[in-house]
Amino acid sequence: MQELINRAKELLADGTVARVLGYKAGDLPYNPEPAYFESAEELKDFVYNGFCGANLSKYMIEASKLEGKTMVFLKPCDTYSFNQLLKEHRVDRDKAYIVGVGCKGKLDIEKVKKQGIKGIQSIKGADITDDAQILTIQTIYGEKTCSYGDAMLERCHVCKGKEHRIFDEQIGESKETKDAERFAEVERIEAMSPEEKFAYFRSELSKCIRCNACRNACPACSCRKCVFDSNKFDSSQKANVDSFEEKMFHIIRAFHVAGRCTDCGECSRVCPQGIPLHLFNRKFIKDIDELYGEYQAGADTDSTAPLTDYTFEDAEPSIVGKRG
Amino acid sequence: MSLENKEFKPKIVAFCCNWCSYAGADLAGSSRLTYPADVKIIRVPCSCRVNPMFILRAFEKGADGVIMCGCHPGDCHYSTGNYYARRRMTLLFSMLDYIGVENGRTRVEWVSAAEGVKFSETMNSFVEKIYSLGENVRLGDLRCKS
Amino acid sequence: MGSEKKQAEMMKEISGVNPLKCMKCGKCSATCPSYNEMDIKPHQFVSYVINEDIESLVNSKSLWKCLSCFACVERCPRDVKPGKLIDAARQMVVRQKGQDYLLADEIPELLDPELPQQLLVSAFRRYRR
Amino acid sequence: MYKIAKENLSALFQLIAETRELYLPVKTAGQTNFAAWSKDAEVDLDTLKTVKSAKDAFFPQSEGLYTVKKEGKKMSIEPERLKEQEFVVFGMKACDVRGMEVLDNVFLSEPVDTFYEARRAHGTIVAMACHEPEETCFCKVFGVDAASPASDVAVWNVGEALYWKAQSEKGEALTEAVKELLTEADEDGAAAVEAEKDAIHKIVEKLPYMSLSLEGWNGDALSEKFDSPVWEELYKPCLACGTCTFVCPTCQCYDIKDYTAGNTVSRYRCWDSCMYSDFTMMAHGNNRTSQMQRFRQRFMHKLVYYPANNDGMYSCTGCGRCVEKCPSALNIVKVVKAFQNQGGEK
Amino acid sequence: MQRIGVFVCHCGSNIAGAVDVSKVAEMALMEPGVVHAEDYQYMCSEAGQAKIAAAILEKSLTGIVVCSCSPRMHEATFRKAAERAGLNPYMVEIANIREHCSWIHKDMEEATKKAVILMRAAVAKVNLNTPLQAGESRVTKRALVIGGGIAGIQTALDIADAGYEVDIVEKTPSIGGRMSQLDKTFPTLDCSACILTPKMVEAAAHDKIKIYTYSEVEKVSGFVGDFTVDIRKKARSVDMNKCTGCGVCQEKCPSKKAPSEFNRGLNTRSAIYTPFAQAIPNVPVIDREACIKFKTGKCGICSKVCQAGAIDYEQKDEIVTEKYGAIVVATGFDTIQLDKYDEYAYGQSKDVITSLELERVMNAAGPTHGHLERLSDGKAPKEIVFIQCVGSRCADDRGKPYCSKICCMYTAKHAMLIRDKYPDVNVTVFYIDVRTPGKNFDEFYRRAVEQYGVNYIKGQVGKVIPKPDGKLLVQGSDLLDNRQILKEADMVVLATAIEPNPDVRKIATMLTASIDTNNFLTEAHAKLRPVESPTAGIFLSGVCQGPKDIPETVAQAGAAAVKAIGLLAKDKLMTNPCTAQADVLLCNGCSTCENVCPYGAITYEDKEVNDHGIRETRRVAVVNNALCQGCGACTVACPSGAMDLQGFSNRQIIAEVDAICR
């Protein structure tokens, strides 16, 4: 972490960047917030640890409108989002000084709490320099431990790889965290009967409160004004009066980001109701991979997106009923 | 055709592209090739004009089946429109299948301006399928059911 | 017949070759150093698979005359890779015979003094599993 | 005070449900929220905080107001019926109960919100003392006693039993209705409850947010706080989602919308969030044009405007849901602290 | 609020026989916005149209719905009728209750119900219609032809003969193109130069044709009817007006080591040069890379010997900006690079040559003055092997997946010419298939075999091995005899695949014309519009669109000319008003719509916007109404709904959906 701070100070001092986009220490051991730092003095609050899970690429949309360069710390998976935004002209490469930060997997406090750990006072083992095996947690109710792996976000278990796709420099080491199949959960659902599928998604989506956290945290959902907020389709319903609205919202959201979603997992991370929203996006990714050839959004900035592309021999929509 | 369920009159929306399928439907009409009156056609310039929102909207408002027809791949009046439509609809239908909507409530058929017979046959078989699936309960908005 | 079809499918699967891509140009045969030793020529190999006559392939002399030099694979303009088909046919024979294709006792019989030594070595490397 | 063994709880729920609607924390797909009780529902009284507060029971996320029916060119209007059925909300916490007070000040003062009023009149709140408060809790800062909820019925969770105490007429009535399942608590029971209260108070003292000071936050602080440069820094991580608003027990803003369903139009209201860019959108646009302004609005309302209109009562109960749920780790505590730190420099 | 009139047509008994038309009219009055409804025997008749006009005027209608036959039949009729009554023609919607209803449903009650629903959908839509104006754009009556080969020359001549001005832009110093490099042409064996040169002269002399040689298209803006093109006239270093074309400078030039492009690098040329003797214009250029004066500052011999004083070392590139109504692309082809085909030993032996090189060898003006000889040692060859399909029909990335189309015929030509002139030379052709679909083509090929004794062997060559003695060992297979062949040859000729001129990608990008995976320009419709690009105002001539021989190229050149003339003959272009429009406040500037537009109608601009008080400069989509054809692909690609299609807007279609599902 000190290395990041030192580098930030250097670049601020020599005028390379006008500000630094990173994280500020929170008031609890696990809630650092994304923040801008404009001076060495401000950097005293800078923190970078396992709880810094937010995808800062999203913030670069706004940062691109500011004067001067913004130094930003991006995890490997964040760089896919940055690339994708670059491709869509939503961020300005010249306004970003990207430090690719190594990643050993990011933590999900909800997963810690799900293990019955509450009254958390401090957490040891979450720093990026730690060797990432065990978290030791001091609570009001005594000391608890939790393995790092068990506390990791879902996305880290199916990590795309620890390679930064775009950066100006790299700092810190990464550790492979992939220990599960990316599409296993999608396949599990695909194998269900229509009734089971319906019941599964009804149960999950019934929790949706239409808070729009998934949309607003999503780097692919970068619309200035979402269709669900505008009257262009007569679709600006805010509430969950009927279960259909959640389906409409989540299907269309997934469709709008199909071929653009980098599978960064922010939607699921931020959902207050713990809905595995990534399963929608990942379904499209799987379909695209299978039907139109493997495609990883954000892997580059010049490939043709699957939904703006075609071949004469493309699968017919009837393939949906035919696949096993 | 199995029409056992006399009570159930499905609502079926058919999006037809202006250049091929709408003309194919016209040909079916002038050839007096019948298909059930449950099918109502909406004319769009090209199958690529069909937004997934339209299809979900139809289901929301109480449609029991939605079919989209366009020019055969390679014959699009706008060269490439139906290629895009094909990918979009494939993904959309796959998603609907994934969330447990009965397969068969949605369909895409390529019908040329010369295929009046195909148009009528397609509509007959699609309507039959919708009858066999029954009322759409998984995608509709309850407020539209009364 | 059924089993022939299955074998043909298996051959396509092992080799990863789609024989239907062949345009019958014969460049594989033109390029093959063992051509004259072969009873079934490289380009014929492809059509045998298309016609699902795997029995003949498996029993052919060619199977063991191919040097696996992969010149045919390299030069095939249609990406058909006849060499891989031959390789696949060998695999099938190997699988039928069990763990080892080349049992020590069998070698002297098969030994042709005119065969290059290199082939023996490479065959051992490839098929002794 | 009465007592009921935990093993008899499902019988209690069934009994309540015979005469009243019953809402209580139910776990669905891994998350606990208030929902109508049913035999198959997975009741979860162990989770300290439901994701959403219990305010839906009185102020639902969306509710119909009236329906317009069209026949030919004739139109008729059918207003939605007010709540008539008695209902019980079981398992609220002291903070959520305080939340109801906050909402009462808004909806029960003139002009009275009849939909809300009817629900309040027919709803009985059974609240539980917080057995094990968590690090995100700071209700004490707002004078809420986690050990003694100010509800119709208060309940303490001690060992294998719940202790039950009616605290209002409605509470008495409910107690009467379920008496067959309750047993009179003895002196040991009373002592156990006192011990539980003590334990809760002790833990509360240890919570990290206990030192939070609200000094300077009051109805008179308007221009000082409004014009502070601190907001410019604070709002930046905000993604403009409505999570904080929708999990909050005191947020009360709603939008009114129409839904066209063929020949009918239903007018309904639904929660809105001041964090949304289209909040209070008008024909000319929006009077708050930046996220900073929207962000400021939420906290100014909770800590300045609301107290100014309600005898100094804050529109925050310290439930800590926003602390847990904000995707960007922002929350009201950070806001208060930021002003604290900024203190003299300003 | 709209004031809508609904007109229900009986169509004699065609509709009224199955649909209760008065019921439909009656139900129409229940619909929001409908203030007038009536039914009539024949709405399309004079009397019917008069009824519509009368109602529009009397009831001040703002929109009408005609329930009748298919809009494909009478939409235009009713639109005109409405327009005559002062109503915007795009405020008319048709409910198709004949083809889609009365003709296919027997049960009157059922058919009437459906007709009512179709009427409702049309009313719901027209409620949201807005008046649209067909735009007009002017047509600049001048065409640009990019490429001065036979395709470009023919197109230019045809357009010019129709009375329109044409400019040809040619990259090289002379027009003439590939055809000028050919010796003889199949299947008639007439001399290429003899038939091409007169055309070149005709083009140069035509008063409507202006030729820019040694020039390139630099920038294209605008759209159909109104393109603005920057042409870079590269510095020739010779004054076109002064030069007499005497050729003395070329003779005296001391730098003679530059490889001759015209002769495919088989010999050299001087630094100041015309590519070939019949070049048009017959004005040399100085190759500044090779010129001693430009390299060292010393020399200047050409300037000294030029009696006309035409040499101008100071000349600079010049940009000419011109306006055009139509652009024809005729950029032609080149042969592919053979560096990935090691097995054919091209590059290892001078005696392995491409067919185009053979053309030069056989040509009297070529490096060997027309004598057939080995380029390595000048000896007369006795055995010549031709190899077909080198790089054509190839699935891997070494070559091209398509058939180059011309090789079978020119190889037969070469074989025949050699056997004719040198009967003692043996000629062997290794082929995969011999493809001769063309007039007199197969006869030509058979003559090569039957009369001239060319030895055709079915089977591809695997390898060509240069031997130390200078001979070439060709290893091939004879698939018919099932034997491998080892043949010694003195020369090997490769029928090398052709590919579009590499510059075409750059040009296509400038023109926003689409291109396929092989870099051939895409036609607007593979069958019905084969000489037009999907981008309006861009036409395709010659091999840039796909492999072709000379007669086909000339035919297509004429067709492209006709299409261009058809455009230039119009004074104004009426544009379809049902085009896409971007809402600048919603546009993200993401370029997704641009990527699916088949017409290149969408561009991006930085625009100052005022988004409810927030003023900022944003990158937003702009639709060119003259190019947009209204397919709607962009509207669905756009996630924010910023892109909408006039006449088929999102809200209109949704209103129809709602009305049907009601």
- B61 close to A (CB below 8 A): no
Contacts of A195 in chain B (CB under 8 A): 100
List, edge to edge, every strand of the sheet that includes E472-478: E461-466, E472-478, E483-489
CA–CA separation, E386 vs C58, rounded Å? 36
ipTM of the complex model: 0.85
Q: Scanning every residue of chain E, which has its alpha carbon at the shortest distance from the alpha carbon of D264?
A: E662
For residue B5, tell me if it sits in a domain: no
- B143 close to D (CB below 8 A): yes
Closest CA to A151 of A184, A100, A106: A106
List, edge to edge, every strand of the sheet that includes A33-37: A33-37, A19-24, A70-74, A96-101, A169-171
Peptide bond connecting D111 to the previous residue in cis, omega within 30 degrees of 0:
yes
> Average pLDDT in the C92-120 region?
68
For residue A176, tell me if it sits in a domain: no
Interhelix angle E108-126/E21-28, rounded to 10 degrees, is: 30
Pairing mode, if any, of strands E643-645 and E614-623? Answer: unpaired
What confidence tier does C102 reach under pLDDT thresholds 50, 70, 90?
low
Closest CA to D146 of D165, D158, D125, D132: D132
How many domains, in total, are found in chain C?
1
CA–CA separation, A114 vs A153, rounded Å? 13
CATH number of the domain that residue E106 is part of: 3.40.50
Asked if residues E92 and E78 have their Cβ atoms less than 8 Å apart, the reply is yes
User: DSSP string of E465-512?
Assistant: EE-TTS-EEEEEEETTTTEEEEEEESEEEEEEPEEE-TTHHHHHHHHT
Q: Nearest by CB to C29, from E393, E399, E477: name it.
A: E477
Asked if residues E653 and B54 have their Cβ atoms less than 8 Å apart, the reply is yes
Query: Is there a contact between E651 and A234 if contact means CB atoms under 8 Å apart?
Result: yes
How many domains, in total, are found in chain A?
2
Q: Scanning every residue of chain A, which has its alpha carbon at the shortest distance from the alpha carbon of B88?
A: A307
Pairing mode, if any, of strands E455-458 and E426-431? Answer: parallel
Q: Which residue has the tokens 């259909």?
A: A244
Domain boundary at E568, E588, E616, which?
A: E568
Asked if residues A298 and A262 have their Cβ atoms less than 8 Å apart, the reply is yes
Burial of residue C36 (CB within 10 Å: 0-12, 13-18, 19+) is exposed
pLDDT of residue C114: 74
Query: Is there a contact between B61 and D261 if contact means CB atoms under 8 Å apart?
Result: yes
Q: How far is CA E291 from the centre of its chain?
A: 37
CA–CA separation, B78 vs B30, rounded Å? 26
- B108 close to E (CB below 8 A): no
Tell whether the model's pLDDT for residue B5 goes beyond 60.
no
Query: Is there a contact between A240 and D132 if contact means CB atoms under 8 Å apart?
Result: no
Q: Nearest by CB to A88, from E583, E590, E642: name it.
A: E590
CB contacts < 8 A, A to B, total: 116
pLDDT of residue D220: 86
Provide the shortest C-alpha distance from residue E612 to chain D (in Å): 5
pTM greater than the 0.80 cutoff: no
How many domains, in total, are found in chain B?
1
Query: Is there a contact between A203 and D270 if contact means CB atoms under 8 Å apart?
Result: no
For residue B3, tell me if it sits in a domain: no
* N-terminal to C-terminal alpha carbon distance within chain D: 53
CA–CA separation, A205 vs A244, rounded Å? 10
Provide φ and ψ at B142, rounded to 5°.
Answer: -60, -30
- B20 close to E (CB below 8 A): no
Q: Nearest by CB to E612, from D260, D262, D289: name it.
A: D289
Q: Which residue has the tokens 């298996």?
A: C10
- Read off the DSSP letter of residue B130: H
pLDDT for A148-194, tens place per residue?
A: 999 999 999 999 999 999 999 999 999 999 999 999 999 999 999 99
For residue E242, tell me if it sits in a domain: no
CA–CA separation, E478 vs E472, rounded Å? 18
Provide the shortest C-alpha distance from residue A256 to chain E (in Å): 5
**Binding-face residues of A in 19-78 toward D, CB within 8 A:** 26-28, 31-36, 54, 58-59
Contacts of E458 in chain C (CB under 8 A): 26
Q: Nearest by CB to A238, from D29, D209, D272: name it.
A: D272
Query: Is there a contact between A287 and B88 if contact means CB atoms under 8 Å apart?
Result: no
**Binding-face residues of A in 143-202 toward D, CB within 8 A:** none
Do A134 and A195 fall into the same domain?
no
Q: Scanning every residue of chain B, which has its alpha carbon at the shortest distance from the alpha carbon of E70?
A: B26
The token duo for B93 is 């239908």
Q: Nearest by CB to D285, from E30, E612, E661: name it.
A: E612
List, edge to edge, every strand of the sheet that includes E215-223: E215-223, E226-233, E318-324
Q: Nearest by CB to A308, from E595, E604, E619: name it.
A: E595
CA–CA separation, C62 vs C35, rounded Å? 9
Provide the shortest C-alpha distance from residue A241 to chain E (in Å): 19
**Binding-face residues of D in 156-215 toward A, CB within 8 A:** 203, 206-209
Q: Nearest by CB to B57, from E106, E633, E654: name it.
A: E654
Q: Which residue has the tokens 């670059």?
A: A86
Do E407 and E487 fall into the same domain?
yes
CA–CA separation, A119 vs A138, rounded Å? 8
Helix ranges (DSSP H) in B52-146: 52-60, 81-98, 116-133
Domain that holds residue C15: 2-127
Asked if residues D275 and D294 have their Cβ atoms less than 8 Å apart, the reply is yes
Do A57 and A205 fall into the same domain?
no
pLDDT of residue C129: 40
Q: Give partners of D (≥3 CB pairs < 8 A).
A: A, B, E
Do E411 and E295 fall into the same domain?
no
Instruction: Give CA separation, E124 vs A293, E31, E39, E656, in Å.
Output: 42, 8, 19, 6
The token duo for E246 is 């005497």
pLDDT of residue D25: 97
Q: Which residue has the tokens 């109508």?
A: D36
Residue from A206, A246, A273 to probe the interface with D (highest D Cβ count within 10 Å): A273
Domain boundary at A171, A206, A228, which?
A: A171
pLDDT in tens, chain D (346 residues): 999 999 999 999 999 999 999 999 999 999 999 999 999 999 999 999 999 999 999 999 999 999 999 887 788 999 999 999 999 999 999 999 999 999 999 999 999 999 999 999 999 999 999 999 999 999 999 999 999 999 999 999 998 999 999 999 999 999 999 999 999 998 989 999 999 999 999 999 999 998 899 988 988 888 889 999 999 989 999 999 999 999 999 999 999 988 888 888 999 999 999 999 888 887 777 788 889 999 999 999 999 999 999 999 999 999 999 999 999 999 999 999 998 876 544 3
- A318 close to B (CB below 8 A): yes
Closest CA to E87 of E60, E47, E66: E60
- E394 close to C (CB below 8 A): yes
Interhelix angle A243-256/B52-60, rounded to 10 degrees, is: 170
For residue E531, tell me if it sits in a domain: yes
For residue A202, tell me if it sits in a domain: yes
pLDDT of residue D345: 42
CA–CA separation, E301 vs E314, rounded Å? 15
Tell whether the model's pLDDT for residue B1 goes beyond 70.
no
Share of chain B above pLDDT 90, in %: 74
For residue B65, tell me if it sits in a domain: yes
CATH number of the domain that residue B117 is part of: 3.40.50.960
Asked if residues E222 and E180 have their Cβ atoms less than 8 Å apart, the reply is no
Domain that holds residue A242: 184-322
Query: Is there a contact between E394 and C43 if contact means CB atoms under 8 Å apart?
Result: no
CA–CA separation, D268 vs A245, rounded Å? 14
Low-confidence ranges of chain E (pLDDT < 50): none
CA–CA separation, C1 vs B129, rounded Å? 38
For residue A85, tell me if it sits in a domain: yes
Do E485 and E580 fall into the same domain?
no
In 3-state terms, what secondary structure has residue E212? strand
Do E492 and E505 fall into the same domain?
no
**Exposed e or buried b for every residue in E484-499, given b needs 16+ CB within 10 A?**
bbebebbbbbbbbbbb
Contacts of E644 in chain B (CB under 8 A): none
- Identity of residue D74: K
- Identity of residue E300: G
Closest CA to E474 of E434, E433, E430, E431: E430
Q: Scanning every residue of chain E, which has its alpha carbon at the shortest distance from the alpha carbon of D71?
A: E30
For residue B1, tell me if it sits in a domain: no
How many domains, in total, are found in chain E?
5
Q: Give partners of B (≥3 CB pairs < 8 A).
A: A, D, E
Query: Is there a contact between A224 and E644 if contact means CB atoms under 8 Å apart?
Result: no
Burial of residue C99 (CB within 10 Å: 0-12, 13-18, 19+) is exposed
The residues pairing with E540 across neighbouring beta strands, listed in sequence order, are: E329
CA–CA separation, A182 vs A158, rounded Å? 5
For residue B87, tell me if it sits in a domain: yes
Do E396 and E512 fall into the same domain?
no
CA–CA separation, E33 vs E292, rounded Å? 84
Do E355 and E491 fall into the same domain?
yes
For residue B6, tell me if it sits in a domain: no
pLDDT mean values, one per 10 residues, chain A (324 residues): 93 96 94 94 94 95 95 96 96 96 94 92 88 88 93 94 95 92 95 94 92 95 90 74 79 95 96 96 97 95 93 93 70
Asked if residues A283 and B98 have their Cβ atoms less than 8 Å apart, the reply is yes
Closest CA to E228 of E331, E146, E329, E327: E327
Q: Nearest by CB to D270, from A31, A217, A239: name it.
A: A239
Contacts of D262 in chain B (CB under 8 A): 61-62, 144
For residue A179, tell me if it sits in a domain: no
For residue E655, tell me if it sits in a domain: no
Residue from D68, D73, D259, D265 to probe the interface with E (highest E Cβ count within 10 Å): D73
Residues 6+ apart with CB under 8 A from A182: A158, A263, A282
C/B Cβ contact: 3+ pairs below 8 Å: no
Provide the shortest C-alpha distance from residue E63 to chain D (in Å): 19
Do A313 and A192 fall into the same domain?
yes
Percent of chain B that is helix, strand, coil (3-state, to 5) = 40, 15, 40
List, edge to edge, every strand of the sheet that includes A134-139: A120-124, A134-139, A142-147
Asked if residues E401 and E393 have their Cβ atoms less than 8 Å apart, the reply is yes
Do E394 and E428 fall into the same domain?
yes
Asked if residues E379 and E373 have their Cβ atoms less than 8 Å apart, the reply is yes
Asked if residues E223 and E237 have their Cβ atoms less than 8 Å apart, the reply is no
Helix ranges (DSSP H) in E29-149: 46-58, 71-84, 108-126
Asked if residues A32 and D329 have their Cβ atoms less than 8 Å apart, the reply is yes
Q: Nearest by CB to E100, from B29, B52, B63: name it.
A: B29
In angstroms and rounded to an integer, the radius of gyration of the C-alpha atoms of chain C is: 14
Give chain B's largest Cα–Cα span: 44
Domain that holds residue E299: 248-305
CA–CA separation, D45 vs D93, rounded Å? 11
Asked if residues D52 and D256 have their Cβ atoms less than 8 Å apart, the reply is no
Do E392 and E433 fall into the same domain?
yes
Peptide bond connecting E187 to the previous residue in cis, omega within 30 degrees of 0:
yes
Q: Give partners of C (≥3 CB pairs < 8 A).
A: E
In angstroms and rounded to an integer, the radius of gyration of the C-alpha atoms of chain A is: 20
Q: How many CA atoms lie within 13 A of D297 on its CB side?
A: 19
Count of Cβ atoms closer than 10 Å to residue C97 Cβ: 13
pLDDT of residue C125: 59
Query: Is there a contact between A89 and E585 if contact means CB atoms under 8 Å apart?
Result: no
Contacts of A257 in chain E (CB under 8 A): 639
Q: Give partners of A (≥3 CB pairs < 8 A).
A: B, D, E
Tell whether the model's pLDDT for residue C99 goes beyond 80.
no
- D29 close to A (CB below 8 A): yes
CATH number of the domain that residue E452 is part of: 3.50.50.60
- A127 close to B (CB below 8 A): no
CATH number of the domain that residue C46 is part of: 1.10.1060
**Binding-face residues of A in 231-260 toward D, CB within 8 A:** 236-241
The residues pairing with E521 across neighbouring beta strands, listed in sequence order, are: E515
